[in-house]
Structure 1
Amino acid sequence: MFNSTISFIKEKFDQQAFIPLHEPCFAGNEKEYLLECIDSTFVSSVGKFVDQFEDKVAKFTKAKFAIATVNGTSALHTALLLSGVEKNDEVITQALTFIATCNAISYIGAHPVFVDVDKATLGLSAEKLEEFLSANTQVINGICINKLSKRKIKAVVPMHTFGFPAQMEELLAVCKRYSLPIIEDAAESLGSLYKGKHTGTMGLFGVFSFNGNKTITTGGGGMIVTDDLELAKKAKHLTTTAKIPHKWDFVHNQIGYNYRLPNVNAAIGCAQMEMLPKIIAKKRALAADYKEYFELQKVNFVTEQKESLANYWLNTLILNDVNERNSFLEETNAQGVMTRPIWKLMNHLPMFNKAQTDGLENSKWLEERVVNIPSSVKF
């Protein structure tokens, strides 16, 4: 299977000597907008491209408000703060995620609690979340309390892993019963829909990433989306060093963060947003070709679930066991086809190895089997 798969991937990518996992695609007005930005001299956190980029993302996702940030981690950190998460609180999330999810929680001095994922979506399981909350928590005066740690649980952060939407309707129903806001880690899922709604727009906040390897990129960058006007205002204030607007005076009314996206990055983002529908169409076409091929090979290729539409940011295989996974990674990378395993579970890292979990049966199973294969698009 390995040699035929390598041959198939190389054919899809025109026999490149090295095929990266996911490289950025610049096929639009990126250079034109960058030159315009440079000529304007507004290259830092103020400029028309920042406003335009926020507007384009809000319109595309159908969120009421979008606030650009310097990266996805800063977006999540800000969203957690504005959701009321404080030092020594707890935040429920999945162990099967990129480290940035837990880093943002830790910046506040809060503690992650890890609940299992669904095998089909790779995202937080509503069933497992209900089981954990029912067995381990009680709601007192509208606050969810962890009976073991005695700490307040302040938020739930599901991740739309590799662009596959988590089962948001079920997760929202569970969280409502326990008075818990949801912050969607939609870093990887720009262009993905769940029951007709864009990922990131169903919770109190959603956050996106525009790192160099994402579906679209600003080089670095992130975005907070919300439908709450007051929270949107607070997000913009907090991410701009909490400075009260004034023509010349410097007044800051709280500890703020220098998290605003520079105009020069937003210029790239505006051009990328213009190309996004075409990029997603190309990515979905590549995924369809992969799906057809791997069905013939009897290999489990991860696909979008019923009533979801995935951007297929990273195409994903689930192999038979850890030995097959390791052999696949060794053989493909040796032949110039970049593949990667899924992340190590967060509770397997030294910073989080004492975190409470629900056992993580599915997460452990997936950790041993999941690999990503080349997913770039060309024009």
Structure 2
Amino acid sequence: MNLADNILEAMKTVLPQGGGFLPLHEPVFPGNELAYTKECIDTTFVSSVGKFVDRFEEMLADYTGAKRAIAVTNGTAALHMALMLAGVKAGDEVIIPGLTFVATANAVAYIGAVPHIADSEEKTLGLDAQKLDAHLSEVAEVRNGECFNKETGRRISALVPMHVFGIPLDVDGLLAVCEKFSIPMVEDAAEAIGSFYKGKHCGRFGKIASLSFNGNKTITTGGGGAILTDDAEMADLCKHLTTTAKSPHKWEYFHDMVGYNYRMPNINAALGCAQMEKLDEILASKRKLAEKYATAFKDVEGVRFLTEPQECSSNYWFCTLVLEKGFEGDRDSILEATNGAAYMTRPLWTAMHRLPMFENCPRTDMSVAESLEKRVINIPSGAGIVGV
């Protein structure tokens, strides 16, 4: 058999058969989702006012260990706000991975800043700290406690690592780069709820971080995101800005800053509260599925199942196959065979530097990202596959 056939056979030992098309990541609602959303409808508190928003924020802060969590409309809004609060300004550069969902780059562009695109490493698919260090040593300089790109003259005002598919990346290595070059870290933990790096929740290492609760995430609020920070003043400003910067008053509408209508609706937060109550069970189901996949693919030549690094715990948001070098040409036949067998699979995103709006951005050598783009396949990953 060829590689596509071998991969399909391995998947069949793990996944259900004959039940119709199996999505890549279908949400599960095993708890109080219906009761909480019905309460919102019964009380008419479905929009940005209601008890579930505050409760969801408290649950997120408690689970992640952050001092504050601010719930917003989606993960992109969360990252946009996090970058603003970290001090990113129009005309700055922000270091982002080339291998990320486009929202990471878009959030930078919303501010009028420029993505500075960096390469990834094979082990986690995350930013390569050593390669970034070498690159910045050539093109950057620190002046008065801030980093500048010598080639463009622009300030490099943030570094945004993204934990790809919930796999914790090399946080220590990137923190060392941030310290060396005086660049604040803004973590894109959109895919990493329930993932831990050396015992600490992802999103807790930078100045501020963002989460996402889109419909295909580990837990969902339908659409939604959150900002995490330990800075109380920053959290208060975040809450103010994301609620249109309206000054508190019983009836008057006075806004003292340019604000954003980013507040999460209560009905979405109600879903989030119910999901948080079952998060440990959802994570356990996803880990069980990942372990089954790891066993199934252990002896399949030409492919490896992506696993968490030592001292880390992944949520295994998306279970991921990485084809070995030399098997790039098999990717599309694998996608055709698996989708044809009613198992949804998909390739990696197009690398950011190959998108037309970001192709002229400054960047490192991107050889690893370009290679991985041709070799990464996501396979069905929902918690409901093995049951919650």
Out of 245, 250, 275, the residue aligned to residue 242 of structure 1 is 245
Q: What pairs with 1:362-373 in structure 2 (closer than 5 Å)? A: 362-373=368-379
Kindly indicate whether the alpha-carbon contact (under 8 Å) linking 2:37 and 2:270 is maintained by their aligned counterparts in 1.
yes
Structure 2 residues without counterparts, runs of 5 or longer: none
Query: Aligned residue for 1:80?
Result: 83
SS at match of 2:142: strand
On the 8 A contact 1:279/1:377 being kept in 2, the answer is yes
Correspondence 1:1-379 to 2 at 5 A? 1-10=3-12, 12-15=14-17, 16-298=19-301, 299-320=303-324, 321-378=327-384, 379=387
C-alpha separation between the residues in 1 aligned to 2:182 and 2:16?
Answer: 52
- Which secondary structure state, in structure 2, belongs to the residue aligned with residue 250 of structure 1? coil
In structure 2, how many angstroms separate the alpha carbons of the residues matched to 1:85 and 1:59? 28
Between the two proteins, the alignment pairs up a number of residues equal to 379
Structure 1: distance between partners of 2:13 and 2:294:
15
Distance 1:49 1:32 in 2: 12
Q: Secondary structure of 2:227's partner?
A: strand
Distance 1:14 1:289 in 2: 13
State the distance in 2 between where 1:148 and 1:272 align.
47
Q: Secondary structure at the match of 1:44?
A: coil
- Once the 2 structures are TM-superposed, how far is the Cα of residue 248 of structure 1 from its aligned partner? 1.1
Preserved contact between residue 10 and residue 19 of structure 1 (Cα < 8 Å): no
- What secondary structure, in the 3-state scheme, does the structure 1 residue paired with 2:247 have? coil
8 Å CA contact retained: 2:6, 2:300 = no
Contact 2:66 2:229 in 1 (8 A): yes
* 1:286 counterpart SS class: helix
Residue-by-residue CA offset, 1:156-193 (whole Å, 9 max, x unaligned): 00000000011111211210121111011000010000
Cα distance in 1 between the residues matched to 2:363 and 2:122: 17
Q: Which residue identity lines up with residue 8 of structure 2 in the other structure?
A: I
**Mean Cα deviation higher: 309-318 or 166-175:** 166-175
| Paired residue type of 2:328 | V
Instruction: Tell me the distance in 2 between the aligned counterparts of 1:5 and 1:360.
Output: 28
Report the residue type matching 2:308 in the other structure: E
| Deviation sequence 1:33-74 (CA, Å, 0-9, x none) | 011111121110111000000011111101100000000000
Deviation of 1:6 (Å): 2.8
| 1: CA distance, partners of 2:152 / 2:198 | 36
Deviation at 1:2, TM superposition (A): 3.0
Aligned residues: CA RMSD: 1.1
CA distance in 2, matches of 1:253, 1:56: 30
Instruction: Go from structure 1 to structure 2 and tell me whether the alpha carbon gap of 1:203 and 1:56 turns closer, same or farther (over 3 Å shift).
Output: same
Following superposition, the deviation at residue 305 of structure 1 comes to 0.5
Q: Determine what percentage of the aligned residue pairs are the same residue.
A: 54
Query: For residue 3 of structure 1, what is the amino acid of its counterpart?
Result: D
User: 69-78 vs 355-364, which deviates more?
Assistant: 355-364
Instruction: After TM superposition, give the deviation of residue 219 of structure 1 in Å.
Output: 0.4
Alpha carbons of 1:376 and 1:218: their partners in 2 closer, same or farther (altered >3 Å)?
same
Structure 1: distance between partners of 2:383 and 2:5: 23
Shift of 1:12: 3.3
The alignment's TM-score, normalised by the length of structure 2, stands at 0.96
User: Structure 2 CA distance, aligned partners of 1:237 and 1:9?
Assistant: 48
Quick one: distance in 2 between partners of 1:234 and 1:317? 41
In the alignment, the residues of structure 2 paired with residue 215 and residue 150 of structure 1 have an alpha-carbon distance, to the nearest angstrom, of 40
Moved more, 10-19 or 51-60: 10-19
User: Deviation of residue 273 (structure 1)?
Assistant: 0.4
Contact 1:114–1:356, Cα closer than 8 Å, also in 2? yes
TM-score normalized by the length of structure 1: 0.98
Shift of 1:9: 3.1
Which whole-Å CA distance do the structure 1 matches of 2:369 and 2:5 have between them? 29
Comparing 3-12 with 210-219, greater Cα deviation is found at 3-12
Matches of 1:161 and 1:224, distance apart in 2: 18
- Give CA-to-partner distance per residue, 1:12-40, whole Å, 9 cap, x none: 34212211100101111000001111112
CA distance in 1, matches of 2:187, 2:362: 21
Aligned equivalents of 2:212, 2:177: Cα separation in 1: 26
